Amino acid sequence: MPVIKALETQSGAMRLLLYLLKGPSYVTLILKETDIPNIQLLRSIDLLMELNLIQKKVDTTTYPKRNIISLTSKGKQIAQKVKEIETILKESST
C-alpha cells in the first residue's frame, strides 16, 4: 500500500504526529489529552512504527510499566510538515 494511502486510511495518525511534536508521551496520557479513540490510537501507533515515524520504549521505572511513544527524526520532519499544512489551512479559513 502506498505510504500516503496508509496514512489516509488510519484515522488519528496525523493527530498523533502533531501531538508528539510536544515531546514523548505515554499511551494513557495521549488517550486522555487527545480525541483519538483507543483502537484508532493503537492502530496509528502500529502504522507509524511500521513507517519508522515513531518509536516505542518501555519505561520500567514505573509500575505498571509504561510505553513511551516518541517521534523519530524522520517522524519529526513529517510532523512539522503536517503542522505547516494545518497552519496554512487555518490562515486560509480566516
Q: Identify the residue with better confidence: 53 or 5.
A: 53
For residue 11, the model assigns a pLDDT of: 84
For residue 45, the model assigns a pLDDT of: 96
Architecture of domain 3-92: Orthogonal Bundle (1.10)
16: closest CA among 69, 86, 72?
Answer: 69
For residue 27, the model assigns a pLDDT of: 93
Kindly report, residue by residue over 9-22, the tens digit of the pLDDT: 888 999 999 999 99
Contacts of 49 (CB under 8 A, 6+ apart): 55, 56
